[in-house]
Chains A and B, each alone.
Chain A
Amino acid sequence: MSALVATVRAETFKLLRKRRVYVLAFLYWVVLPAIGLIVGRLLYTNLREFEREGLPVNDLLQSLFSAHGLATVALTGPAYMSPTPYIIAVVLLAALFIGEERGQNMWKTVLVVQPDRPAVLTGKLVVAMGALLALMLGAFLSAILFGTVGMSFLPTDLSGDWLGLLGLYLWQWAHLLAPVLLAFLLIFLVRSAVLGIVMVLLLPGLIEGLYTVLNTLFNLQPLTRFNAIFQALRLQRVWEAAPRYFFTTNLYAPGRTPAREIANELLETTVQPQDLGPLQMVLGTTTSLGHAAAVMAGYVLVFGLLLYWLFRRRDVD
């Protein structure tokens, strides 16, 4: 049996014996859609009186609380939370597959039983990505189930662009490879699951926040010795383009895509604007899927190369 297949089997065996995986699945598959249905029912009761004033209550309920709506919210909602449930799932899995080996002093066992280090690392990545796929597809299916149940007390139906939505789920899942690699890398690098998790949760936001602060400083008028140097180097354009390559902006692009459609749909019938304008910036939906995929591929390459290089070379102490 190949080392990769053996590792995948062993790590799956381990994954299925970890309680946190079931807690995560329960939250994502049961609690979130159940809360969605309860909120939908409350809105249905309380928004009726606004219907006379032109609020498209049924459209709103169909967009958010139908089977398709719940599945959309299950994809899009987490992308707006902080930290996002995606990242929480990623760091929990990374802690299980990398952090725990360090914490329980298991590397010396794992890498003797299976000395093919690239296969061990790839196997762990495969199982982590498989777990994320199962979580996301499970959420998709449970949304359909809960949405179907909701049809008995909400004016909703099963209509919707199901294939398009499933595509976005898979697209978002593929984007999660970058944070998985980052989490594996940081936890392995700092030799601590806790510190690695904190870094994964904070580092991208910290870098992006730092950019905002520096951006304000560099653009201060009048020119000072500080921002004059910066502007003289003609880095202004590069600097301004930097946010397009930020990790989180691109990471959640597939998940945030439906937000534009939902907002468009709702605003179209209540107010006039077809063009969302600045709202797009607020929703974070200005990045095209192609651009986001290219940027995330770059992150995957960098994190992946660093991780494999480090994993192959490091001594197990």
Chain B
Amino acid sequence: MSAITATGLTKRYGAKAAVDDASFTIEQGEIVGFLGPNGAGKTTTLRMLAGLVRPSSGTCTVLGAPVPGGTLREVGTMIEEPSFYPYMTGRSNLRHAALLHGDVPPRRVDEVLEFVSLQDAADKKVRAYSQGMRQRLALARALLWRPKVMLLDEPTNGLDPAGIAEVRESLRSVAAQGVTVLVSSHILAEIEKLVNRILAIEAGRIVFDGSLRELVERMGAPTVTYTVTARDQAGLLAALAELGYAPTPRGEDGADVTVPDEEADLLLGRLAERGVRVTSATQRGEDLEGAYLRLIDPRRRPS
């Protein structure tokens, strides 16, 4: 039994299709990244899977049962901005959700608070929470009833790097327990570190469904990014600019520069010709961001 299936899922608002004939299947235990630019239809798709929005046509199932249906009680969600009753404490908000669900033992509230490291702030009113704390509390709420499927929309939105790392670790730990996770994010580096499969949506249509490696292979790798350091950073930046590149300073002695694939081997030689004494150079392979940008923007693809 698949964890999630969507078959011809379509949502129209008037003449505009927010989601257009989306079909995909997610097996149990998979962690799938859901990518797409703003307005592509990610949130609408997640809302349909969560039973909040009725599809105009098509169907979806969660854990084998049609949505909306009883299996939604096995789903944990974070959709868009986390919302709470601000006059209640974090703990009270979780207790309310636990009571509403009906099958959550009372001690579970403390367990999830501890899991997201919020036990010290649990008795503060939510209106006093920072964005990061709200995000973590929302994750705690989504985990309350030990869901088998999680639908997460931008779960790291508004978090600082430490918070992002915490959420990432939390999600990894959840996924290790066999929970199926469909997670959308704008922070591609995060998705890259978390997921083993990508679903990409553009203008309401699923434009890619496969592994990260398949995405990179399909989009090709026309550029290579170097991190170069030299004793004279100003000289390094000037030489790179002279060669027609757009370097970004890194630290006090380095620069990041992206060069066409065919010029990659020549870069260091050209710098040496201009008297730049390179102390180190690290070449990074094609990353998700590059492949993704070319997926949604054909002008970036190699001709």
Contact = CB atoms under 8 A, between A and B. Distances in A.
Interface in B43-90: 47, 50-54, 68-70, 72-73, 75, 77, 79-81, 83-88
B103 interface: yes
Interface stretch (B94-102, B111-119, B263-271, B279-287): B94-102
A316 B51 CA distance: 9
A316 B102 contact: no
A229 B64 CA distance: 63
Given A13-B96, A115-B72, A5 B85 contact: no
B72 A110 contact: no
B152 to A, nearest CB: 12
B47 A316 contact: yes
B141 interface: yes
A109 B83 contact: yes
Contact of B86 (A2, A104, A107): A104
B92 interface: yes
Contact of B88 (A2, A17, A108): A17
Contacts of A104: 83-86
Interface string A74-103: 000000000000000000000000001000
Interface residues of A, number: 31
Nearest to A1: B102
Interface of B: 47, 50-54, 68-70, 72-73, 75, 77, 79-81, 83-88, 92, 95-97, 99-103, 141
5 contacts: A2-B102, A10-B99, A14-B96, A115-B69, A117-B68
Query: Which 6 A-B residue pairs are closest in the complex by CB-CB distance?
Result: A6-B102, A10-B100, A1-B102, A10-B99, A316-B52, A105-B83
Given A5-B102, A109-B97, 19 more contacts: A1-B102, A1-B103, A6-B99, A6-B101, A6-B102, A10-B97, A10-B99, A10-B100, A13-B96, A17-B92, A104-B85, A105-B83, A108-B47, A108-B50, A108-B79, A110-B100, A111-B52, A114-B102, A115-B70
